[in-house]
Structure 1
Amino acid sequence: MITATGLRWIMTVLFCALTLYGVWRALASGSAHGSAHAHAGHPWVARLAHLLHAVMALAMLAMVWPWGMDLLVVPQVVFFSLAAGWFLLAAVAWPGEPARGRALLSVLPHAVMTGAMAWMVAAMAWGTSMGSMGGGGEAMADMPGMDMQGMDMSGSGAAGAMELTGAGDRWSAGVLAFVLLVLALWWLTRGFDTGRRAPRPDADGVGPDGVRGALDLGCHGAMALGMAVMFVVMV
């Protein structure tokens, strides 16, 4: 959860746009053509990949708001862990045009991102402190059945209400933030280059495959960047 109003709304708009884009790419006719996924030669696989990205963006949208902390944790962790494995399996079983090794390397960033999503959900639920509760921490500590051991209730974070307390978790979050930032810059750079080389849309306003591929890369980069920000807030 993010307590800074400005950052919260920026992340909300970002993840909302990514959710809508992922759903549109999953449902639109011919969504597999021009896809940034290595297995774009298989329409149903590419559609499912876009749908998984939409679900991840929606989950990130929920994390920004307080009500997102009330969502069930285990189903989310299981879902995103399976999604990470699915990207790797899809690249091996249905590699598409590139060789199987190249396809596996191409989807590895998506597997890393969905795996990081599973880790984030678990860490926010089981290894964080409620910084925004301020003085309420002492009252909660006196409540029956409330074990506050290991919980930092000092409330130092101005941007996020959830902060990791364990040194290992904080280092892991920092490493994941760095990795996601690198992926974001890599995807965004490729997206800009692809869009610059792509032909202009035709007279009917239908964009060529290169434009869709550039948009896919840009959205992947935006997702990775948004996740990196969330990890920084947790640290």
Structure 2
Amino acid sequence: MTRIEALSKLTNGIDTLLDIGTDHGYVIIDALEKGYIKQAIACEVNPMPLENARQNIAASGLSDRVHFVLSNGFLNVIKPFDGVLIAGMGMHLIKDILLQPHTKAKKYILQANNHIDQLREFITNNDFRIVDEVSIFEKFHYVILVVEPGIMKLSQKECYIGPFLKNHPESLQYYLNLQRILSSNHMRATGEKKRQIAVKLDYLSEVISDLQK
């Protein structure tokens, strides 16, 4: 399964999807064609990618089910939505967008390109809760979080490993890759940084052992 297909599948059950940073509009196209969603709002901060999405969606014959809006995150979005997709961005940008004033959706699908542990911590400190996690490998390892409004408290270990990802056998390769990277960093680190990496390596060893049983 590709990253686009995984993101699309997770939209199932959403009526109107707000795709922030829609880029080429591929997730919207797949989700509409497969019946996961009924309609969508394609949102971009820059005109060129929004036009790319418009052309791709038109070529798929789906323009009548998609509203296009030039907006920095939620700021110019007026039409109602019940699901939000924010994918392919850095963790800090996703945090900034989620902090913008908006009517809370029933479902958020979030895929940050870095610092997944910090995104988990932010989410659970800002009146959201994680309800599922998915790992995908497509040239790189990606982790997708499925989030809804609510309350959840995570330990330091759960922020790093994930409350649900550890239960999915397909996540083993993601954890093994993370272990390789951290092991290399640990060899070069010193002092407190070395100790912090060692703690994370312990977390990984435990979850890898469980998944390999």
Instruction: Give the structure-2-normalised TM-score.
Output: 0.22
Which has the larger share of helix? Answer: 1
Mark the structure with the bigger radius of gyration. 1
Instruction: Give the structure-1-normalised TM-score.
Output: 0.21
Which has the larger share of strand? Answer: 2
